[in-house]
Chain A
Amino acid sequence: MALISIQFILFCAFLIVVYYLVPGKLQNLCLLAANLVFLSFYHAARLTVLFLGLSILTTWAAALVIGRLNTLQPGRTGRKRAVFVLTVLLNLAFLFVFKFANSAIFALNGLGIVDHAPVSFAAPLGISFYTLQLLSYLIDVYNGGQQPQRNLLKYALFGSYFPLLTSGPIVRYSELGPQFDHRRTFQYRNVTFGAQRMMWGFFKKLVISERAAVMVNTVFGDYPVYAGSYILGAVLLFAIQLYTDFSGCMDIVIGLSEALGLTVPENFLTPFYSTSETEFWRRWHITLGTWFKDYVFYPLQKTALFGAIRDWSKKKLGKKRGRKVPMYLAMAVLWFSVGFWHGGLWKYIVGSGVIHFVYIFLGQELAPAGSRINRILHIREDSLSHQLFRRVRTLLMVCSGFLFFRAASFHTALKMLRALLFVSDPTFFTVQGLLSLGLDGYDLTVLILAVLLLIYVEHVQQTGSVRDRIAGQHIAVRWLVYIGLFFLVVIFGMYGAEYNAASFIYANF
């Protein structure tokens, strides 16, 4: 079932009514049934139920065994490790077969080892997201930070909670699991605030993202024709498209959860306000970043191998510089993994991974020199203009990654980058230029006004909750805003047969 559909909205409304009407003990069962109903609309429903079920069962059982071994044989780690490693490998194998088989074929073809056509098969819905989620639970139990959940129903709910299967956020057991222990009682505020948040998500997706997509597709679909400012403009528009698509989807997921009395973590915190790459990645796709930080970046640095590298590099380079070597090595692995997770193609490995490692590395290493230059030139680092400069610089760095992400392939991205940097064509930023990419004057005006509204709302968000602020207004103003937003979506949203609004970009990962 697509999140952008009348079907889905009716399904949510029906679920919310039944969910709060059934007796407490049945509430979890009701949610589990909703998960199955939601999945039954997906074209590979049986496959998803089978593999999601297998992943849930294996991680649940392994965690129970590990928990038992912890109490019965606390000093002996051999068996515990064997169960842990086998279960992790099994679940990673599912993920690799479904998501990365074609990448492996491309890579082997490229190296001339085999000559095999790409294979085509459906993948279980949300496998990239739920695999990380279930593995984090197992790793936490193995590391002793989480008690195993004995109740299979509650654990299955955590693993199959349907809003998260679409594009995350990637939730830890400690964040969501305990919420299934108590009955969620109906609260007017939860349901109305949740509905408002969902509406804001629909606004971002249907009014902004779908319009930006038209212009982006025109340039990326016919890239040899465009150069200079057109490529720059298309990449900036893609940043808007991707952000409003992905964060809009998160608004729907988080809003629906709120209406169901469940709190799930945020995945975006107004990322374009970031003044550095490191800050950007603390505000963009947050739960993916923290997953790889907690389960790849930190553990890797605590291994014996990295300990030996640390000792060696401290001896060779001195304490201060030496300790950075294992950190940067682990960071390179982290970013490679993040890029690879997006699909195992070079355009993702570079655009969503390695390129950001390079920027963060340079940012860290050049920071002292930058501060010195600022001192010499008497530039106040806390001044508004300098902060703005840093924001623009961060945006451009991030966009260079998005260029690879959106391009058809790594080579296409390189060609487009060349056309952007070395061919001069500034006419994108003229009325004729803007109107030549598939949107007419009406749609372009709606897009610009909607983006301005988004910027205004995010600006207000810097100082507190927008919904709290609206809720504090006079009843007439309040309802004017709610109804106004509803009609904005209905009138200006791009949906219907000729649009592809049903799919979200991250639902493909």
Chain B
Amino acid sequence: MTREEVYAKLNKVFQDQFDDESIQVSDKTTSADIEDWDSLEHIDLIVNIEKTFGMKFTMAETTGMKNVGEMVDIILQRTAR
């Protein structure tokens, strides 16, 4: 999967999660950029991403990812196996 393909799928998950068709995430997107992305929504978002890509984040990654770029790096690394 290319980075662009990951982003295409990821945008859909984010749009669906936060009920906002206009969301477009990028490497630098953080929870501060999306109004409803707080600690209450975080795990549900992570679980949906895991289901979409058929992979798992470790707990350290779940709580430690600093931006969407890091998230995409992990997805690419896991799905390449």
By a beta-carbon cutoff of 8 Å, the part of chain A in contact with chain B is: 139-140, 143-146, 278, 293-294, 297-299, 301-302, 307, 310, 320, 323, 327, 330-331, 364
A329 to B51, CA, bound (A): 21
Q: B42 near A144 (CB under 8 angstroms)?
A: no
B60 within 8 A of A: yes
- B44-81 residues with Cβ-Cβ distance < 8 A to A are 44, 46-47, 58-64
Which residues of chain A are within 8 angstroms of B62 by Cβ–Cβ distance?
Answer: 298, 302
- When the two chains form the complex, which single residue of A140, A302, A327 contacts B40, counting CB atoms closer than 8 Å? A327
- When the two chains form the complex, which single residue of B38, B43, B46, B60 contacts A145, counting CB atoms closer than 8 Å? B60
Considering residues A278, A298, A310, which has the most beta carbons from chain B within 10 angstroms of its beta carbon? Answer: A298
Which residues of chain B are within 8 angstroms of A144 by Cβ–Cβ distance?
Answer: 58, 60
- Across the interface, name the chain B residue whose C-beta is closest to A306: B43
Q: A145 near B58 (CB under 8 angstroms)?
A: yes
By a beta-carbon cutoff of 8 Å, the part of chain B in contact with chain A is: 19, 38-40, 42-44, 46-47, 58-64
Those 3 A-B pairs whose CB atoms lie nearest each other, nearest first:
A145-B60, A301-B43, A143-B60
A-B interface pairs (CB < 8 A), number: 43
- When the two chains form the complex, which single residue of A145, A320, A331 contacts B61, counting CB atoms closer than 8 Å? A145
B48 to chain A, nearest CB (A): 9
B54 to chain A, nearest CB (A): 15
Considering residues B43, B44, B46, B60, which has the most beta carbons from chain A within 10 angstroms of its beta carbon? Answer: B43
Q: A143 near B58 (CB under 8 angstroms)?
A: yes
Which residues of chain A are within 8 angstroms of B58 by Cβ–Cβ distance?
Answer: 143-145
Which residues of chain A are within 8 angstroms of B61 by Cβ–Cβ distance?
Answer: 145
Instruction: Given contacts A302-B43, A302-B46, A327-B40, list 5 more A-B pairs with CB under 8 A.
Output: A144-B58, A297-B39, A301-B47, A320-B19, A331-B40
Which residues of chain B are within 8 angstroms of A331 by Cβ–Cβ distance?
Answer: 40
A316 to B58, CA, bound (A): 29
Assuming the contacts A293-B39, A298-B42, asked whether A143 and B59 have C-beta atoms less than 8 A apart, the reply is yes
- When the two chains form the complex, which single residue of A145, A299, A301, A302 contacts B64, counting CB atoms closer than 8 Å? A145
A-B contact pairs, 15 of them (CB 8 A): A143-B59, A143-B60, A144-B58, A144-B60, A145-B58, A146-B60, A298-B59, A298-B63, A301-B47, A302-B46, A302-B47, A302-B62, A310-B47, A327-B43, A327-B44
B46 to chain A, nearest CB (A): 8
